[in-house]
Amino acid sequence: MWETIARTSDIAGIITFIVFVATVLIVLSRALRYKRRIKKAIERGKGLCVALVVSLKPGENIRGHVETYLKEKGMTMEISEIDKKGVSIHTISEMRKDFIRKKRELTERGVKEVHLFYEGPVASAFFLADCLNNWVPVYIYHFHRDGGYECWGLLTESLERIATEELIREVTKDA
């Protein structure tokens, strides 16, 4: 009897291991496909491509950093800018209207792709993301003080997928 239980346990362990390995391979292949898709979309121009530079902190304008980044990467695109001298609870509604105005302006000009470079409070970023969601592909760039900008993904992509990719990177880093 114990021998049967031990064999059953061994078989269950083998099946569990096979399912685990298959799951990891599927998740890794999806993450790689997603990264390739972003890279291809960035390299391939699909019409008017705009770098949207949003500076909301007083005394800080990131346009110069963005221009430098685009030149270093060999990316040629028009730069459109929203520059505020700071935001507060009292200016949120006006700021949101500015976001919507900029979206309309770019839509009328036939924009097909936006690369978003943002400097400002996190709370304001939610209003901007709400305005830009379900539009053209919007690529989000993050600024590292040490290494400059890097593309983190599409605005419309799920945070679950990004978190999964990060988990995979951590797991496979030690393997």
Do 133 and 170 share a domain, yes or no? no
Q: State the greatest distance between any 2 C-alpha atoms of the chain, in Å, as a whole number.
A: 77
Instruction: Name the strands in the sheet holding 148-154, side by side, starting at the edge strand that comes first in the sequence.
Output: 78-83, 48-55, 111-119, 138-144, 148-154
What does the pLDDT look like over 77-93, one tens digit per residue? 889 888 887 788 888 88
Beta strand 138-144 with 148-154: parallel, antiparallel or unpaired?
antiparallel
Do 26 and 80 share a domain, yes or no? no
Do 89 and 26 share a domain, yes or no? no
Rounded-to-integer distance, Cα 87 and Cα 95, Å: 8
Do 104 and 169 share a domain, yes or no? no
pLDDT > 60? residue 157: no
pLDDT > 60? residue 175: no
pLDDT > 80? residue 147: no
Rounded-to-integer distance, Cα 126 and Cα 78, Å: 24
Do 72 and 145 share a domain, yes or no? yes
Do 165 and 140 share a domain, yes or no? no
Q: Regarding predicted confidence, which is higher, 56 or 156? A: 56
pLDDT of residue 92: 83
Do 35 and 105 share a domain, yes or no? no
What does the pLDDT look like over 31-41, one tens digit per residue? 888 777 776 66
Nearest to 80 by CA among 98, 57, 58, 93: 98
pLDDT of residue 60: 79
Residue pair 147/165 in contact (Cβ under 8 Å)? The answer is no
Do 32 and 118 share a domain, yes or no? no
Q: What is the CATH number of the domain that holds 73?
A: 3.40.50
Do 68 and 16 share a domain, yes or no? no
Do 15 and 72 share a domain, yes or no? no
Do 148 and 129 share a domain, yes or no? yes
- Name the residue range of residue 135's domain: 46-158
Do 165 and 154 share a domain, yes or no? no
Total domain count for the chain?
2
pLDDT of residue 171: 66
